[in-house]
Amino acid sequence: MTRFGFTLAILASTVLASACTDDVPTENTPPPGSTSGNEDTTFDHDNDYISPWELLDRLTKEGPPRYTSHVHSCSKVRYRTLGNVLQSFGVNTANATALSAGQLYTSGANALGSPNYANRIRENIAITTSGASREFDIFASAADEIQTAFTNGTMARCPGATLFDAANTCRPEGITCLIGAPATSRHLDYCNLTVSTASNATVGKRLAVAALLAAAYTCE
């Protein structure tokens, strides 16, 4: 018998053997607890769809995606702009004292993505982990200088504004000066909560100033 004949004989015997047995599985579902999951062990996706009318209403209010991606995108504050903002708050950016806001600003140029004109490298406009961390450090260190400028009335950004009153209560005009937008009741509540829950009022006011600045000048 030729090789082709042997192949046909083997295939025919396989078909007949499978037809005479009752052990052929009827489903391919694995046993419980092996590889399958349930609503308790996997993420339950919401498969609800949005109607065309809801989508049209959203596009009418928010605009198309290519527009909203530009309007709602969040880029970092430019290095020079950050320096101007700090100076407008009464911060001495030329201060060379270790760990002062000025020293952290000038020594953190690379972390903050400043331009390197000598090597023809433009400024990095994207937010990086190192840049955000250094910016948070600068705001935390600058909090005392900013409070002093408010207290002494030397705040060039908004002369006469008060950030904290005699009872260590946050003032709306001071918060408005910090964040560059009208302060809301939630801003006041957050500020007062930060001050009241700290170990002491001095630490609380420092944290409140740093947190408000971080929220206003980063994407947080």
Placement of tokens 């408010």 in the chain: 150
Neighbouring C-alpha atoms within 13 Å toward the C-beta of 212: 35
DSSP string for 152-213: HT--SSSTT--SB-TTS-B-HHHHHHHHSS---HHHHHHHHHHHHHSSSHHHHHHHHHHHHH
pLDDT score of 118: 86
pLDDT score of 75: 74
Token pair for residue 70?
Answer: 């530009």
Catalogue the long-range contacts made by 191-199 (C-beta closer than 8 Å, 24 or more residues apart): 195/164, 195/168, 195/169, 195/170
Q: Where are the domains of the chain?
A: 79-217
Contact 97, 67 (CB under 8 A): no
Q: Alpha-carbon distance 94 to 184, whole Å?
A: 34
Q: Mean pLDDT of successive 10-residue segments in the chain (220 residues)?
A: 51 51 56 60 62 82 74 77 92 93 93 89 85 92 94 87 93 93 93 94 94 84
Q: Alpha-carbon distance 191 to 4, whole Å?
A: 87
Q: Alpha-carbon distance 118 to 123, whole Å?
A: 12
From residue 170, give the alpha-carbon distance in Å to each of 15, 36, 98, 205, 210: 85, 55, 30, 9, 14
pLDDT score of 8: 47
* pTM, entire model: 0.65
For residue 16, give the 3-state DSSP assignment. helix
pLDDT score of 160: 87
